[in-house]
Amino acid sequence: MKIKRNQFMKFIKGIALTLVFLSLQSCFVAKDYTRPTVVEEDQRFRTDQLPQDSLTMATMSWKEIFKDPILQDYIEEGLQNNMDIRIALKQIDIAQAYLKQGKAGYLPALNLNASAVHQQFSDNGQFGGQASSANQFEVAGGLSWEADIWGKIRSNKRASEATYLQSVAAHQAVKSRLVANIASVYYQLLALDDQIRVTEETIETRTRGLETTIALKDAGSVTEVGVKQTEAQLLTAQAILVDLKTQVRMMENTLSILLGSAPREINRSTLESQVIDIPIETGLPTQLLSNRPDVMAAEYGLVNAFELTNVSRSSFYPSLTLSANGGLQSLELDQLFNVNSLFATVVGGLTQPIFNNRRIKTQHEVSQARQDQALLQFKYALLNAGREVSDAMYSLKAADEKIDIKKQESDALNLATEYSEELLNNGLATYIEVLSAQERALASNLDIISAKNSRLQAIINLYEALGGGWR
């Protein structure tokens, strides 16, 4: 039907006044997110050996931590090709699409349609005898819009923003973990290389020792037992070498997968050339909130759950919708684009849910439970971050102490081996004593390399635990 201009304007003004009045009520429904109070004990990590200040190694680029150019190239390659990184980037694309949809929530929906209808009437029907058929042609557009009275659309938009930021933080967490994993596997390979070098030197020494033992047996200085024990020692070292080379192959394959490539040989430098001489600074516990991507992701998950609780709460209140339709309608096609074919309809509606089989209440209860669940996950992320920092700090301290002890042990055992060999040559010791000293010396030398690797691993773990690696 046609609406006069003054009537139409009065209708629009009435709708506008209603919107202004009801929009003032939105503050009573949609709440604003505030970060939950985090008790200091909940996020404390044990750094009694270091003073706590705002300086933290987490803010340093991984290029400042890992200065080996070969390792830097591998990290760059991994960041470009790693499958987990690429999957995380696609997740960001998905979240970004939903974010755009959330931002469009304030806009009206607009539909356009065109139709042509032909009806053939029966002689005994309602229009029988008046007309045998009828045509109707229509080109029309429809517009619908819901007023954000209770902040539902705003909360949906904020929930989409939180989901997007959570996906970004998740990508940063993957990046941080990838940098740490590449460095960790690389250093393990260097340590294995050193252990292989020491083992191969030991095999050469024991091969000569076996020849010497056979000569001593022929001279009557040792028995066949001594020969077999020397031979067993040589075989033990050879078996260790096989295990070490197997581990190298496995580590090379692992690093290849991290780099997003098929298993391949990994070029690398040496363990001795690795120097990480940055200040070990942990910063304040509260900085984990802004440095750890997984903690940030957990909080964005909480924000998302909080805003969706707002949305479910707003469902208890009435919704105001405004719809309008208009276009051209005619029984004759040649008259369709005539001014007399214009039509328009405007409808404003207010809907208050009364009874809907408890769906709204259930939705609100579920949303509230999910918000509580997200809060617990956020607190757990903080607790776990603090534990990881504490573990890494203690591991680093223990590795430093163990390196010193193992160096002293190795020096003592190497001297003991030399002394026992001299005593054997002078007939003052048995060959079993020499073999025993050599066996302990090999184990100690391998342990020193493991301790050096443990120190590097502890620094990597601390860097990741503090939230480093994604910048």
Q: What is the mean pLDDT of residues 436-456?
A: 84
For 126-139, how does the pLDDT look when each residue is reduced to its tens digit (9 = 90+)? 655 566 677 888 88
pLDDT at 26: 47
pLDDT at 425: 66
Positive or negative: CA dihedral 52, 56, 58, 62: negative
Torsion of CA 77, 177, 264, 204, to 10 degrees: 120
Domain 1-26+108-146+318-351 indexed as CATH 3.30.930.10: no
Question: Pick the residue with more confidence: 177 or 339?
Answer: 177
Residues 6+ apart with CB under 8 A from 215: none
Largest Cα span, the chain: 136
Side chain identity, residue 301: G
- Token pair belonging to 166: 């959570």
Helix axes 83-103 and 152-218, enclosed angle (nearest 10) = 170
- CB-CB contact of 244 with 14 (8 Å): no
For 147-170, how does the pLDDT look when each residue is reduced to its tens digit (9 = 90+)? 777 778 888 888 889 889 989 998
Class of domain 31-106+148-317+365-465: mainly alpha
Burial 325-335 (b: 16+ CB within 10 A, else e): eebbbbeeeee
Q: What is the DSSP code (8-state) at residue 225? A: H
Provide the CA 238 distance to its chain's centre, in angstroms.
42
Closest CA to 373 of 82, 381, 234, 236: 381
Of the pLDDT bands very low, low, confident and very high (cuts 50, 70, 90), residue 1 is very low
pLDDT at 427: 64
pLDDT at 4 over 60: no
Lowest-pLDDT choice from 64-78, 138-152, 158-172, 200-214: 138-152
Helices (H), 219-292: 224-258, 288-291
Of the pLDDT bands very low, low, confident and very high (cuts 50, 70, 90), residue 339 is confident
Closest CA to 448 of 394, 402, 412, 417: 402
**Strand, helix or coil at 110?**
strand
Q: What is the mean pLDDT of residues 196-206?
A: 89
Burial 340-352 (b: 16+ CB within 10 A, else e): ebebeeeebeeee
Of the pLDDT bands very low, low, confident and very high (cuts 50, 70, 90), residue 278 is confident
Most confident segment among 242-256, 342-356, 377-391, 419-433: 242-256
pTM of the predicted model, to two decimals? 0.81
For 295-319, how does the pLDDT look when each residue is reduced to its tens digit (9 = 90+)? 999 999 999 999 989 888 888 888 7
- Number of CB atoms found within 10 A of residue 231's CB: 15
**Length of the chain (residues):** 471
Q: What is the mean pLDDT of residues 349-367?
A: 81
- Token pair belonging to 364: 């609100």
What is the rounded CA–CA span in Å between residue 274 and residue 287?
Answer: 29
How is the chain split into domains, by residue range? 1-26+108-146+318-351, 31-106+148-317+365-465
